[in-house]
């Protein structure tokens, strides 16, 4: 292969076959992909969850991850939040002509490794090469498919008054890691993205508890926006306590310096879990058993709306003893975050 991506690699001819055989198949190898059909025949049982996402992160390599790993983690997590065990991924690449082949190889290898760690197969995909200047290096689309293992499955409209609101770890890591790398900022303590697949922790939680009401990963828009979405869908009010929300000191300091709010920064390796009050401690014990959720903690409750006004709101109890409303993110705090 050439040392740079050529338009020929997207032609569907011999060059495309070389790229698939020598690069993609090498790193994504599994029995279904090896059949080299235009699609895949998959084995699933009962209800399935499907999610798709497109990743355009800038920069494509960042502390703690890269666009390849992110493309797996983001979609695997979305499927898992639906109460499913992710099984399969499709993967589409949109590549700018002239991208260095070693950069593409590094991304594909990283994506393959992340899929292996998550226990999913990349079973089919597509590659398009566009002329130089028509895209920015590389964009990746992934679609995930998984078996739903609980009934009823967690959903954004299932939060109930009296439920406990849990978070699996510290907030804002991914957003600040991307921003600091993009802007060439250096902090005394490096900030790493929390980019990770959470499906193993989620499966343990689903199999260990009788009824998980809501699972969501607070990606774009962060914790505050995601809780607003849940509150609106469930017609409830979420009340969270500022002093209980875990934020790394270096992230808090960086946000203070840059005028950002960690509650609105993207996360790529954390999830919100809303369960009945009686199951809160058991849920935390299960979460703590997974290294990715070692910092899991309770941050608040779902409350009766008549106590705090109209439903569909998120209320923050501040460290000073007051309360303030947290609305959804207005505009784009940080573009091309994932």
Q: Which CATH architecture group holds 164-325?
A: Alpha-Beta Complex (3.90)
How sure is the predictor about 306, in pLDDT bands with cuts at 50, 70 and 90?
low
Residue showing tokens 């992230």: 251
How sure is the predictor about 90, in pLDDT bands with cuts at 50, 70 and 90?
very high
How sure is the predictor about 205, in pLDDT bands with cuts at 50, 70 and 90?
very high
How sure is the predictor about 185, in pLDDT bands with cuts at 50, 70 and 90?
confident
Alpha helices in 81-160, H assignment, sequence order:
101-118
Average pLDDT over residues 90-118: 98
How sure is the predictor about 187, in pLDDT bands with cuts at 50, 70 and 90?
confident
Give the pLDDT of residue 308: 55
Report the half-sphere exposure of 39 (CA within 13 A, side-chain side).
2
Tell me the average pLDDT of the chain. Answer: 94
Whether 7-148 and 164-325 share one fold: the answer is no
How sure is the predictor about 184, in pLDDT bands with cuts at 50, 70 and 90?
confident
How sure is the predictor about 298, in pLDDT bands with cuts at 50, 70 and 90?
very high
Of residues 114 and 45, the one with the higher pLDDT is: 114
Say yes or no to pLDDT of 311 above 90.
Answer: no
Q: Taking Cα atoms as reference points, which of 179, 205, 164 lies closest to residue 290?
A: 205
Alpha helices in 145-248, H assignment, sequence order:
173-183, 199-208, 222-234
Say yes or no to pLDDT of 194 above 60.
Answer: yes
Where exactly are the structural domains of the chain? 7-148, 164-325
How sure is the predictor about 117, in pLDDT bands with cuts at 50, 70 and 90?
very high
- What is d(CA 122, CA 117) in angstroms, rounded to the nearest whole number? 12
- What is d(CA 37, CA 149) in angstroms, rounded to the nearest whole number? 29
Give the pLDDT of residue 12: 78
Give the pLDDT of residue 177: 95
Options 3.30.1330.10, 3.90.1150.200, 3.30.70.20, 3.90.550.10; CATH for 7-148 is 3.30.1330.10
Average pLDDT over residues 268-297: 98
Average pLDDT over residues 231-260: 94
């Amino acid at each position: 292969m050439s040392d740079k991506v050529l338009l020929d690699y997207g032609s569907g001819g011999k060059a495309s076959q070389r790229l698939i055989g020598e690069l993609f198949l090498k790193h994504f190898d599994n029995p279904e992909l090896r059949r080299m059909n235009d699609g895949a025949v998959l084995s699933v049982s009962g209800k399935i969850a499907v999610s798709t996402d497109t990743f355009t992160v800038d920069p494509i390599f960042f502390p703690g991850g890269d666009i390849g790993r992110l493309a797996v983690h983001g979609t695997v997590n979305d499927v898992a939040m639906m109460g499913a065990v992710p099984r399969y991924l499709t993967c589409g690449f949109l590549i700018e002509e002239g991208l260095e082949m070693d950069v593409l190889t590094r991304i594909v290898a990283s994506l393959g490794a992340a899929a292996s760690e998550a226990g999913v197969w990349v079973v089919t995909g597509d590659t398009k090469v566009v002329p130089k200047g028509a895209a920015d290096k590389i964009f990746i689309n992934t679609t995930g498919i998984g078996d739903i293992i609980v009934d009823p499955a967690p959903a954004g409209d299932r939060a109930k008054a009296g439920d406990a609101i849990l978070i699996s770890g510290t907030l804002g890591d991914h957003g600040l890691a991307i921003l600091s790398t993009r802007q060439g900022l250096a902090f005394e303590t490096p900030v790493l993205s929390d980019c990770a697949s959470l499906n193993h922790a989620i499966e343990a939680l689903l199999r260990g508890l009788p009824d998980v009401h809501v699972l969501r990963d607070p990606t774009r828009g962060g914790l505050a926006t995601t809780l607003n979405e849940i509150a609106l869908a469930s017609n409830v009010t979420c009340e969270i306590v500022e002093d209980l929300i875990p934020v790394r000191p270096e992230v808090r300091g960086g946000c203070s310096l840059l005028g950002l709010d960690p509650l609105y920064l993207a996360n790529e390796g954390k999830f919100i879990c809303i369960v009945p009050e009686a199951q809160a401690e058991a849920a935390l014990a299960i979460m703590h058993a997974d290294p990715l959720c070692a910092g899991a903690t309770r941050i608040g409750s779902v409350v009766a709306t008549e106590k705090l006004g109209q439903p569909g709101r998120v209320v923050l109890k501040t460290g000073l003893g007051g309360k303030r409303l947290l609305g959804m993110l207005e505009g784009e705090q940080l573009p091309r975050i994932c």
